[in-house]
Every structure is written in structure tokens, then in C-alpha cells.
Structure 1
């Protein structure tokens, strides 16, 4: 599916607010089991209050971005300090909204946040069978380096400043 100009015009990407726990919870519960497994390496079936707090808390060394279509969360990105000037990123987009530019928009916003802090280095762990995300990262990290650890691959690279 191609990026949707109408969706791009109404999509809001922002940091979480205190009232976002419930919408994030609905988003997580609405993810197919496969998407939950790819994002969390576990097919989480219950969204605990502790998980919601973690996924909606901005703190020193942690950035959280939410993508909204109206009042509905359709994307979540979290970046935490991974040491060495890099951040560890996790990103997930609602199934019905995939392939429509939301992940790209979240990464573009993250790139701006990181550049303001002096770095655009990232690392993330991806299941080796998650070919879609691995291919997606190959297109976005010009200096990508992949390190296999059993079923997972640790991806290292620098987000391109011109990410559109």
C-alpha cells in the first residue's frame, strides 16, 4: 500500500501524555500476535499497567513517540540509551496502517530528536525471520552492520538525516 496523503495530513506524531495509557493499551491489545512477537519477542497476551507505564514514559535516556490517527494510536516508537552514543529502538505500527509511511514518519521524528542530542546512531534487535523489518532497516541505515545471535540479529547503524 502506498503512502496516503490524506492520512499523512491528519497523522499526529508526538510524545506521550499522562492520558495516553488507555489508547496505547488498546493499540497493543489490537496488534496481531505475530506483530507482538516481532516487537517484543513474546506473544504478550496481557498488557500490564507496568508495561503501559514503560511504553508511555519519557525519561532521561528514553524517547517515546506515538503516531495518532484521530484519537487512535497507530504507531509506537521507543528509543533508549544503549551506551556508546547509540540508542536501542523498538517500533511497531498497527497492521491496518502498515506500508503507509507511518514507520518512516516515526523514524524521521526520532532522527530529529537524536540529532538535537548529538547522535543518530541506533541499534536494535530483530528476529532473523522478520525479513520485512530487516529490509526496511537496510534502506534507512546507510552504514548498517548486522550481528547474528541465534534467532535474533542485532542491527547497528546511523539514521540518515535526509530520511523522508
Structure 2
């Protein structure tokens, strides 16, 4: 069995590419309904559409998507979509078998380092209010965090940490 620290070092994180669509599709189909619900905040994602897959691999000047790969297998995805001059909306999901191993933290760290070069300093993300693990992680990870609860979701705003490049 591979130790958790070894798993993180074997994972490659890189920008998504158009040709990653099939791998991302398999990744999304492999997520449990609970994990899909936590990422997309919708229980209606039972079918992974080609449009959703395209959106999740598209990289533009206003959208960045990074993948965590174990070999050729996508095990994590993070996406930032510009929502203002210095802000992005953030979405992240890690395959259940790879959770709690630092992969999500690494995805967000690499995303933050990349978008910081473009002057982005603020993030916003919607999280299920019952997802205490992610909310706790965000509280530890973002400076000056602000949370707004609305029904089942909490919208989190905060400043990205500055990492030495």
C-alpha cells in the first residue's frame, strides 16, 4: 500500500487540455452522487454531458482548469472563472479514493500561484453548509474569510495566500 505522502508526490498537476475530455468524463462518471452533489450543488447531475466536459477542460484568459493525474487517470479537478478584475469563482473536486491526501490543497496552491501572476487575489466559492471539512479547510487556507449562509449553501469569500514562486 502506498503511504499518503507518497501518493501526493506521484500525482502530476497540469493545465487541462481539450484532449483531456474523455479522461475528465470518466472521472466525473466515477464520482459518487454525493461527491457530484458537493461539487455541483445539484442532485440532478446523473448524466455527464459533452457540454459539461468541454466546459471543465476549457482554458481561456478568463477561465483556468487544472487536473491532478495519477498516471493517465484524472483524480482531481480545480477550476477558476474570473468574476471580477481581481477575483475568481472557484470549484474543486477530488475522487473519493484520493481525498484527505493533500491533493485538493496542492491543486488550489498551484491554481493560486498561477492566477496570482494575473493579479487575481480574491476567491469566491459556494460550499454546502454541511460540508464542514471543506469549510474548515477554507477557514485555514484563506486570509480574511467571509461567509454568507443561504439555505443549504455557504458562499465563501477570501484572499488567496501569497506563495513564493
TM-score, length of structure 2 as denominator length: 0.92
What pairs up with 1:12-161 in 2 under 5 angstroms? 12-43=12-43, 44-161=45-162
Equivalent pair of 2:147/2:157 in contact (CA under 8 Å): yes
Distance 1:52 1:154, change over 3 A: same
Distance 1:12 1:72 in 2: 10
Distance 1:80 1:146 in 2: 19
Q: Tell me the alpha carbon deviations over residues 85-132 of structure 1, each in whole angstroms, 9 at most, x when there is no partner.
A: 210000000000000010010011011112101122100111111111
Distance 1:18 1:136 in 2: 30
Unaligned runs of 5+ in 2: none
Count, aligned residues:
161
Distance 2:69 2:102 in 1: 13
Distance 2:103 2:24 in 1: 16
For residue 124 of structure 1, give the secondary structure of its aligned residue in structure 2.
strand
Equivalent pair of 2:28/2:48 in contact (CA under 8 Å): yes
> In structure 1, what is the equivalent of residue 9 of structure 2?
9
Distance 1:19 1:84 in 2: 29
Q: Tell me the alpha carbon deviations over residues 6-33 of structure 1, each in whole angstroms, 9 at most, x when there is no partner.
A: 2222211011122211110111011111
Q: CA deviation at 1:84?
A: 4.6
Q: Which runs of 4+ in 1 moved over 3 A?
A: none
Unaligned runs of 5+ in 1: none
For residue 144 of structure 1, give the secondary structure of its aligned residue in structure 2.
strand
Give the alignment's Cα RMSD to 1 decimal: 1.4
TM-score, length of structure 1 as denominator length: 0.93
Distance 1:161 1:74 in 2: 26
Equivalent pair of 2:81/2:89 in contact (CA under 8 Å): yes
